[in-house]
């Protein structure tokens, strides 16, 4: 069965600290896709990144970076030098190739960045 | 950048009222989705559609109904609202209806409160 676990319910950091949000997934498929979304207080989900299971290369986009490790079934997200605007709920999600595109979301991690 | 719209953004109504939450996208996406998000943040898929005249129930049983008469429009209706329906409702769309996974893009959400 497919499952996404975000063990950290809430994280609080001070501005400029680095923070890592953990995501562990379970799937029996060899082809699958992993996503991260950001939900700011305004409520919409903002797409951040999509990776497929054949691409284990880590990705960096500005202050954001993602570490995909199939050996540990993890897809962790790191924010470097956090800012107050990073305060949001972050969701990790999984989709298997045969699932017709439906996503399984983790329960989310609420990140609070204090000035 | 996704162009997906939801109206109203906020709605407060009394018990027993019939309501329709609107969702439209201008990207020509085949697949559309409705999620319900409880106050604990967890996202639940309640309906989805592969295209015109297609509707499917999601993972979470819902008393709401949906229709897909036009590609760009996917309204959700509650025939008789109850306080248990109080939640945030998020609409999403993605490009492909077939096998594989394309990225889901989300609307801004509707926060529904039933008194």
The answer to whether residue B98 scores a pLDDT higher than 80 is no
CA distance B46 to chain A (A): 11
Q: Which two tokens stand for residue A1?
A: 């069965």
DSSP state of B73: B
- C-alpha span between A104 and B45 (Å, rounded): 9
Contacts of A71 (CB under 8 A, 6+ apart): none
The answer to whether B29 faces chain A, any CB pair under 8 Å, is no
The answer to whether B1 faces chain A, any CB pair under 8 Å, is no
Identify the burial level of B70 via C-beta atoms within 10 angstroms of its C-beta, where 0-12 means exposed, 13-18 middle and 19 or more buried: exposed
The end-to-end CA distance of chain A, in Å, is 41
Reading chain A (115 residues) residue by residue, the pLDDT tens digits are 789 999 999 999 999 999 999 999 999 999 999 999 999 998 899 999 999 999 888 888 999 999 999 999 999 999 999 999 999 999 999 998 877 778 999 999 999 999 9
pLDDT tens figures, B38-60: 887 889 999 999 999 999 999 88
- C-alpha span between B24 and B64 (Å, rounded): 18
Query: Taking a contact as any Cβ pair under 8 Å apart, which residues of chain B between 38 and 67 contact chain A?
Result: 40-43, 45, 48, 50, 58
DSSP state of A70: G
Q: Please, what sign has the CA dihedral across residues B9, A48, A108, A54? A: positive
- Nearest CB partner across the interface for B88, out of A43, A47, A96: A43
DSSP H or E run through B93: strand B87-94
Mean pLDDT for all residues in chain B = 91
The answer to whether A97 faces chain B, any CB pair under 8 Å, is yes
Closest CA to B33 of B11, B58, B52, B5: B58
Closest CA to A102 of B64, B33, B62, B69: B33
pLDDT tens figures, A12-41: 999 999 999 999 999 999 999 999 999 999
CA distance A98 to chain B (A): 6
A110–B105 CB contact, under 8 Å:
no
The answer to whether residue B2 scores a pLDDT higher than 70 is no
């Amino acid at each position: 069965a497919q499952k996404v676990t975000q063990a950290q319910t809430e994280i609080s950091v001070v501005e400029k600290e680095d923070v890592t949000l953990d995501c562990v997934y379970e799937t029996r498929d060899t082809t699958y896709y992993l996503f991260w979304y950001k939900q700011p207080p305004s409520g919409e989900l903002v797409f951040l990144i999509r990776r497929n299971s054949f691409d284990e290369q880590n990705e960096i986009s500005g202050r954001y970076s993602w570490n995909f490790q199939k050996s540990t079934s993890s897809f962790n997200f790191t924010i470097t030098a956090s800012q107050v605007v990073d305060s949001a709920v972050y969701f990790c999600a999984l989709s298997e190739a045969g699932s017709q595109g439906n996503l399984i979301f983790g329960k989310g991690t609420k990140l609070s960045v204090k000035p | 950048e996704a162009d997906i719209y939801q109206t109203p953004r906020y709605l407060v109504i009394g018990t027993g009222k019939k309501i329709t939450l609107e969702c439209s996208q201008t990207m020509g996406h085949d697949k559309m989705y409705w999620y319900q998000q409880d106050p604990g943040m967890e996202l639940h898929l309640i309906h989805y559609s592969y295209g015109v005249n297609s509707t499917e129930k999601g993972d979470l049983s819902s008393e709401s109904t949906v229709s897909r008469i036009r590609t760009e429009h996917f309204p959700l209706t509650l025939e008789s609202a109850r306080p248990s329906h109080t939640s945030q409702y998020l609409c999403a769309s993605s490009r492909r209806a077939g096998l594989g996974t394309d990225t889901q893009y989300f609307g801004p959400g509707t926060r529904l409160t039933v008194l």
